[in-house]
Structure 1
Amino acid sequence: MMRWFTPRPDSLLGQLRSPLYVRWQAGLSLYAIVGLFQGPLATGHFNWQWMGPTLLAVPVYLYLYARVYLGPLRQLEWHAAGIAVLGTALWCVNTAGFILPMMAGILLAYSPSWRHWLSGVAAITLLALAKVWLLGGELSLAAGVGLAGLFGGFSNVLYMHSARRDAELRLSQGEVRRLATLAERERIGRDLHDLLGHTLSLVALKSELAKRLALDEPARAQREMEEVERVARHALTEVRAAVTGMRRSDLAAELVSARLMLEASGVALEGAVPEGMALPEHIEAPLALVMREAITNIHRHARATRASVALSIGGKGIDMQIGDNGRGGLAAHGNGVSGMRERVRALGGTLSIDSPPRRGTVLSIHVPPPARASAVAPLPAVAAGPAHLPAAGSAA
């Protein structure tokens, strides 16, 4: 039974990943069924001439309506056309039957082609005019069918344009991540091959030589094994250094990741890492984590449309400023802010927040020059992971 209400992958809800807006609209629009009964009953005329056909039409309408959202998207226009024909036929015996052609015009706006939507609304309007012309009825209702399809469907057209653009952006982001992951795997493979290939071959050769010399020339075999130990320890040191470099967070990578995250949620990010900017790892890694925390909070809580990141380095030290035009009101002593302050304080720097309500947030960080910052004790390991910013404010 439940599979009847499960969207197909190629359906309207399936392709848009069942967005809340469409699901709510689908549920609220079902109240059109109430109008099919309320209209005739409000006039005080109850008889089976309209009640019987209406009762028969409702299950057909519900099936076609469900198929619009759950069926293949390529068949959406046919299902909407079926609703229009059904409603026009019902209109002949039920004065409220014009509601269904109206709904058909609005549902057509979910079509992938806005031209098909406009053509469909025009065809439904002509069908309504033909009913009024041949069988009688109010001309204003026929005109209202077309206007409802236009004005009611226009918001759906705008929403679908935005939703499809977001879906394409998510797909492109996924492809970028996939290619980046593939390139990183290839790089790591090359590095490990270059790093360990020669060393392990040398260890194997010297171990084989020591095995052959163990009985005849024990002293020489011992020297060979000492050489194997030295080479192995050297290789271990190089591997550790390489892994540390792979795990390292850097500002340029965080800025790219931030741009992908914010643009996916409709927030334009401005800013870039200055050309030739090079910072010691013990400074760059904490600053990258602070940037990550701030950007994550903008994405989750700020409700902004624009954000910016500014980086500069000079004789007085390093300055980083992250801002947004969101709702502001960032708490000054929340867990997330405390985590950022600890990272900056460990570098001997300062962090200030300007976050007036409804006027955005600006987070300013100043870190002393690397020579002075290096004298400060490193941040304890407990603060290495990104802390969650409070939901009460925007993040910058």
Structure 2
Amino acid sequence: MNLSSPRWLRTLTRLRDALVPEALGLGWMPVLLLGYLLFLFMPVLVPSDSNWGDSLPWRLWPTLLSIVVFLPMYFLAYRGSAMTRVLCTLGIAALGCGLMAYNAFSNTYIIYAAAFVALLPGTLWTRLVALAALLGTYYGLSVWLGFPVFVPVLTAIISVAVFTGNYFQSETVRKRAELKLSHEEVRRLAALAERERIGRDLHDLLGHTLSLVALKSDLAGRLIERDPQAARNEIVEVSRVARDALAQVRRAVTGIRAAGLAAELASAKLLLESDGVTLRYDAQEAVVPPDLETVLALALREAVTNIQRHARATLAEVSLASTDEHVRLRIRDNGVGSAAVPGNGLSGMRERVESRGGRLRIDSTLRQGTCVEIVLPLPSREDEPARTATQDEGTVGAT
């Protein structure tokens, strides 16, 4: 909950989260669905006989008592274990059947029970059998109490519709959770593969070099008394090899630290599609230096995270284009949009872009989505070797 929200709204949100777990992602829906309890008072609002006033207490008090019993079972069905949900569903169904003699609109509880049947453990066929048993019991009691035929028929139609909606919603939530786990597994495997690659690269890079340094150092130690000039030459060679190894390590570390666009796009696709957002990607052939690719990859990560958390979009588009002078990355969504308020993520993105001489533009309009555009200048081919050499010399000197 945003700390800038009114205090009363934060209090209500905490109360809602205490009744319905936030992890379910249902928001205020379970609370709003309690509005259907108003149907229980239809016999009072629409009396069916002339002496309804005399029978008002006979109808009203059992109904009020049933609501007091219903509410704890209703919220326990959301918070409890699978067995608790089964028991609460049976309790709500029994409440609806028991109230039929006092209130013809007790089928409201039958519909609530049908909604929870869709969330019970087991296969779809198990849930369908449970739904059929629930509706069959209600139909039998309706016939026994002399209810009109349209009452159980209408109840069955609404119950099946509610059951179907809840079942497919639960399947969507389950598949989303599986995709999230898959996304986390992909990240874990990618990190493991990267650690193995780093180990191989460092072994290949430093193994031969350090062996050569050790060999030449031993040789210089043996020559220092007999042939000082040869020993001095060996020390100079050791220094050259060490400097070359340092430059190679620096380039390797730069590659390790760099975040690749391809990896970020794969991660973004998993993240967004697990949340029901379609990702489209269009890229031209572009050769981007590793340091600039890192800036673009981190910007893509921040933009995709904002889409997943705040945009409520159904479509996101990523495009990458380049010329001889610059490279442009554009991330667009069709979400709710808003006036962009810079946070830590956007501020960090802007700082990284501007430190490379680029520019960041964010176009976000209410109900028209958001577009983030990053433009970075590309180094000229003549300047690139000199720039790399200067960086290597600066690193050696600093060391």
| 1:208–1:73 distance in 2 versus 1, CA, 3 Å | farther
Which among 322, 334, 342 is matched to residue 331 of structure 2? Answer: 322
Contact 1:36 1:54 in 2 (8 A): no
Whether 2:23 is the aligned partner of 1:18: answer: yes
Alpha-carbon separation, structure 1, partners of 2:302 and 2:63:
61
| CA drift at 1:109 | 2.4
Structure 2 counterpart of 1:182: 192
Any idea what the Cα deviations from partners look like across 1:104-152, whole Å, max 9, x if unmatched? 1121122465544444333222211211222333444333432331233
Whether 2:190 is the aligned partner of 1:172: answer: no
| CA drift at 1:310 | 1.9
Spell out the pairing of 1:122-133 with structure 2 (5 A cutoff). 122-133=132-143
Letter in 2 for 1:288: A
Whether 2:114 is the aligned partner of 1:105: answer: yes
| 1:242–1:129 distance in 2 versus 1, CA, 3 Å | same
Whether 2:262 is the aligned partner of 1:267: answer: no
RMSD: 4.7
Structure 2 counterpart of 1:299: 308
| CA drift at 1:292 | 3.6
Q: Which runs of 5+ in 2 are unaligned?
A: 1-16, 388-399
Alpha-carbon separation, structure 1, partners of 2:186 and 2:130:
38
| 1:77–1:303 distance in 2 versus 1, CA, 3 Å | same
Greater RCO, 1 or 2 (C-alpha within 8 Å, sep 6+): 1
Q: Which runs of 5+ in 1 are unaligned?
A: 1-6, 8-12, 378-396
| 1:350–1:77 distance in 2 versus 1, CA, 3 Å | same
Spell out the pairing of 1:330-369 with structure 2 (5 A cutoff). 355=364, 357-368=366-377
Match of 1:371, SS state, is coil
Between 197-206 and 38-47, the greater mean CA deviation after superposition? 38-47
| CA drift at 1:246 | 0.7
Contact 2:43 2:104 in 1 (8 A): yes
Alpha-carbon separation, structure 1, partners of 2:72 and 2:173:
25
| CA drift at 1:227 | 6.3
Letter in 2 for 1:324: D
Match of 1:68, SS state, is helix
| 1:296–1:35 distance in 2 versus 1, CA, 3 Å | closer
Whether 2:158 is the aligned partner of 1:153: answer: no
Whether 2:290 is the aligned partner of 1:281: answer: yes
Match of 1:98, SS state, is helix
| 1:88–1:95 distance in 2 versus 1, CA, 3 Å | same
| 1:237–1:88 distance in 2 versus 1, CA, 3 Å | same
Match of 2:276, SS state, is coil
Alpha-carbon separation, structure 2, partners of 1:29 and 1:351:
44
TM-score, reference length from structure 2: 0.69
Alpha-carbon separation, structure 2, partners of 1:301 and 1:188:
36
Match of 1:183, SS state, is helix
Any idea what the Cα deviations from partners look like across 1:260-315, whole Å, max 9, x if unmatched? 3322332211114445x322234433333443443344334433221212222344
TM-score, reference length from structure 1: 0.69
Alpha-carbon separation, structure 1, partners of 2:59 and 2:361:
75
Match of 1:370, SS state, is coil
For these two proteins, the number of residue pairs brought into alignment is: 361
